[in-house]
């Protein structure tokens, strides 16, 4: 997702406010990736079980990659990009660590919930930007 948002920031550089939104959201997605890396690399023993549908996650990942390639060939309007990003955010909501992972220790769960809360709400922010443009998905 960070790659999609970075590509959109480049494509919409002519609209500084939306480019800032894309870059901010890309940084937040990078933070999500770092959270998963922390979980996988440094806290495996804290995980009781994971409930991620890997095939669904892979399908969304492939759709994001395909969309980036499509957008490089034909850059989308800001509205098109916002609608697509909202759809992807909704599809990606389930795999977040605070929802998809059961932790051995409640303190680990709380820590991840706090980390995720610090940079959540992507779909809401994107919907707001879409409404400010006079449309809704």
Centre a 10 Å sphere on the Cβ of residue 13 and count the other Cβ atoms it contains: 11
Q: Which residues contact 120 (CB under 8 A, 6 or more apart)?
A: 96
Digit-coded pLDDT (tens) for 4-52: 999 999 999 999 999 999 999 999 889 878 877 877 777 777 777 777 7
pTM of the shown model: 0.81
Higher pLDDT among residues 99 and 122, named by residue: 122
pLDDT exceeds 70 at position 73: yes
Report the alpha-carbon distance of residue 117 to residue 111 in Å, rounded. 10
Give me the pLDDT at residue 4, please: 97
Give me the pLDDT at residue 60, please: 85
Digit-coded pLDDT (tens) for 87-121: 988 887 655 544 567 778 888 778 777 766 655 67
**Judging by beta carbons within 10 Å of its beta carbon (0-12, 13-18, 19+), is residue 15 exposed, middle or buried?**
middle
Give me the pLDDT at residue 33, please: 82
Read off the DSSP letter of residue 45.
G
Domain boundaries, the chain: 2-132
Higher pLDDT among residues 59 and 78, named by residue: 78
């Amino acid at each position: 997702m960070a790659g999609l948002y970075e590509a959109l920031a480049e494509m919409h550089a002519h609209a500084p406010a939306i480019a800032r939104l894309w870059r901010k959201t890309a940084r937040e997605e990078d933070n999500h990736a770092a959270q998963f890396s922390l979980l996988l690399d440094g806290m495996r023993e804290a995980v009781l079980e994971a409930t991620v549908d890997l095939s669904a996650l892979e399908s969304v990942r492939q759709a994001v990659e395909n969309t980036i390639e499509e957008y490089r060939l034909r850059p989308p309007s800001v509205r098109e990009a916002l609608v697509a990003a909202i759809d992807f955010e909704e599809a990606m909501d389930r795999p977040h660590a605070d929802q998809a992972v059961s932790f051995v220790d409640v303190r680990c769960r709380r820590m991840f919930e706090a980390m995720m809360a610090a940079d959540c709400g992507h779909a809401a922010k994107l919907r707001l930007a879409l409404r400010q443009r006079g449309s809704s998905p």
